[in-house]
């Protein structure tokens, strides 16, 4: 579990550090100018000219590490969508295991997925933990 937690934190930091891809939302502000996209506004204002604005000493290595993380996460999304969704909800959205378990069960019900034989819910917390651990391990191996 120590290795899972270590790598989960590492990948979360790398994943969150990516700059947003959209600058403007589709809405127009009261002044008639396009509104900033919420993710861009958050990225733009995080710590002002402090954290996030300084240039690392070795930009190439920082960029390579993020690129490796992005590639590994894309591979996970392609091969194991459910594990990807669990990682995204925990590492990016900061949801809890309990919250993700509820979300998984609501999603399965909403999509009319039949319950497995002998179970009263689609996912238990143990199932969510298993998806999380498998997702982190996949990304670590692909990294």
Please write the tens of the pLDDT for every residue from 6-50: 989 888 888 776 645 565 677 777 776 677 677 666 655 554 334
Residue 82 in 3-state DSSP?
A: helix
Q: d(Cα 132, Cα 88) in Å, to the nearest integer?
A: 10
Cβ atoms within 10 Å of 59's Cβ, excluding its own:
9
Q: Which residues contact 79 (CB under 8 A, 6 or more apart)?
A: 138
Structural domain count of the chain:
1
- Does residue 69 sit within a domain? yes
Residue 54's pLDDT is what?
43
- From residue 117, alpha-carbon distances to 25, 102, 120, 121 in Å are 45, 19, 9, 10
- Does residue 34 sit within a domain? no
Least confident of 32-36, 61-65, 76-80, 103-107: 61-65
Average the pLDDT over 90-106 and give the result: 94
- Does residue 41 sit within a domain? no
- Does residue 89 sit within a domain? yes
**Structural domain of residue 117, as residue ranges?**
2-18+57-142
Per-residue tokens: 117: 């034989």
């Amino acid at each position: 579990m120590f290795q899972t937690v270590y790598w989960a934190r590492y990948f979360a930091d790398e994943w969150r550090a990516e700059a947003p891809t959209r600058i403007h939302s589709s809405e127009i502000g009261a002044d008639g100018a396009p509104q900033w996209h919420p993710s861009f506004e958050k990225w733009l204002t995080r710590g002002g000219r402090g954290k996030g604005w300084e240039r690392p000493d070795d930009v190439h290595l920082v960029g390579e590490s993020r690129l490796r993380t992005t590639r590994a996460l894309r591979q996970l999304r392609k091969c194991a969508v459910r594990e990807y969704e669990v990682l995204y909800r925990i590492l990016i959205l900061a949801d809890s295991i309990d919250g993700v378990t509820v979300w998984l069960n609501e999603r399965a019900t909403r999509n009319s997925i039949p319950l497995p034989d002998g179970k009263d819910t689609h996912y238990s917390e143990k199932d969510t933990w298993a998806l999380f651990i498998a997702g982190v391990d996949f990304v670590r191996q692909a990294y």
